[in-house]
Structure 1
Amino acid sequence: MASEAAPTLVHQRIPVLTLGVGMALMGLGIGFLGLRMRRR
């Protein structure tokens, strides 16, 4: 059981990091667009 739990945790962490980076980039993009819309 323990030997099977380790790889699953590693595989679960990688997608979480990619999702976190993706969400951060999306947030920055939306914020940038929002600022541009406000300036106009």
Structure 2
Amino acid sequence: MRLLLPYVPITLVMSQNHITMALSMVVQLNYRLIDCFNINQTN
């Protein structure tokens, strides 16, 4: 594990954009699901 620790920040910085893109997509999907549930409940 000691050998992997120095590479963790590098991988986080390299994959930071991918993580933010994935989180934004998940948030958008969650909002769409919430909207669908709200529409179904109102109807």
Provide the TM-score with structure 2 as the length reference. 0.68
> Any runs of at least 4 consecutive aligned residues in structure 1 with deviations exceeding 3 A, and if so which?
1-5
List runs of 5+ in structure 2 lacking aligned partners. 1-6
Aligned-pair RMSD on alpha carbons? 1.4
Structure 1 position 18 matched with structure 2 position 25? yes
**How many corresponding residue pairs?**
36
List runs of 5+ in structure 1 lacking aligned partners. none
Provide the TM-score with structure 1 as the length reference. 0.73
Structure 1 position 7 matched with structure 2 position 14? yes
Percent identity, aligned pairs only?
Answer: 3
Specify which structure has the higher proportion of helix: 1
